[in-house]
Amino acid sequence: MKKSSFCDETVNGYTGYIDIEARHLFFYFFESRNDPDKDDVIFWTNGGPGCSSSLGLFMELGPCRISDANGTKFHPESWNNNANIFFIDQPVGVGFSYAEYGEAVGTTEEAAKDVAAFVAIFFENFSKFKGRPFHMAGESYGGRYVPVFAAEVYDQNSKLVKAGMTPINLASIMIGNDFEYIFIGASMYDMVCTPASVPPLLGIGQRVCANEASGCSAAVTFCGNELEGPFWATNLNPYDLTRECDGDINDTLCYPIIKQIASYLDLPSVRSDLGVDPTISSNFSSCSYDVGTAFAQNLDEFRPTHHYVASLLERGVKALIYIGKNDWICNHVGNERWTLDLEWTGGDEFRKQGLREWVVQGQTAGMTRSAKGLTFATIEGAGHMVPYDKPKEALEMVNRWLARKEL
């Protein structure tokens, strides 16, 4: 790893690899702009599965953004305004992370072991941050990743103590536009056939057909043929129903900035500055097809993850679930349902709370519900990438969370 002024010249920054035997995980780390000697530490991962956290760094919440393929621009609403934050390319095979001897990762549970080891080594190397409140954050498939990763970090603490090491002070998880398959799939109907966020987008025929579907097999057939097919034909952005897709979704994910990020990270001078292993000669890919395929073949997305959230809450680890109102693919309807259905000792108190407005600079930012360490929040005018669409509101939300204040 190397110290660098890359991306944010106002703070200490570090980039490079942490090695777990033959697996090499690449990361970017930026100290807080406020008080790095006292502020909390945030872990960030993007989803996919198989997408690089360079997307979160350069597009959403990092200290700089890619303005074009040749350089970066200072980002005033970065989440390192009041926290020390690192972005990790995981699992191996994603971004600049790699493994020797053909090793690969195909499930979230396996990836969690590497991430927990990474976190332990990280705090040993950056020892002044030991014992700080630690928050594990991510978005989209990060809703599958983060609870499992956090559980592994929590469970690893007993081993660290036995080894004479400082345990990780896991304070919370923060998940944006969570992918919880069981709830999200069913709620896609609500998003395009009812005015849940925008006026209904599909015709009456599709809406009637949805009500006639029953049973798992019928539901899958309906979703594929009668709901998702007509939606994709609209050319609307699945990450933001208020926009058309900009470019080929397989090429740009509907956001051309993603191609600019890849072009920037392909520059030899940038790779040298970052300390990227020179044996990685291939063009940078924002999302790995091979990793995504491996997870799909193992049916990883169908494994329920909300039980991990409940177990973390029972152990005093708080959870923030925040959702952009305009997202279709990981929408607020399904996310609210799973938080309300969650079985844990604080569940009844959480369900008693009505949704209320939360406000930023005198303007309604969204709706929220909170009790016993669990907070659900929506963000008006935001899609899948909340910090990209609403950077001021996203930063205010995170700052309040870190300060242990209600939204």
Catalytic residue set: 140, 327, 384
**Cis previous bond, 49, omega within 30:** yes
Q: How far apart are CA 180 and CA 246, in angstroms?
A: 26
Residue 80 DSSP label: G
What's the per-residue H, E or C state across 43-61? EEECCCCCECCHHHHHHHH
CA distance 266 to 289: 18
Q: In whole angstroms, how far apart are CA 111 and each of 54, 90, 118, 281, 405? A: 18, 8, 11, 24, 32
d(CA 355, CA 368) in angstroms, rounded, equals: 5
How far apart are alpha carbons 328 and 238 in whole angstroms?
5
Tokens coding 148: 């499992």
Q: Tell me if 49 sits within 8 A of 140, measured CB to CB.
A: no
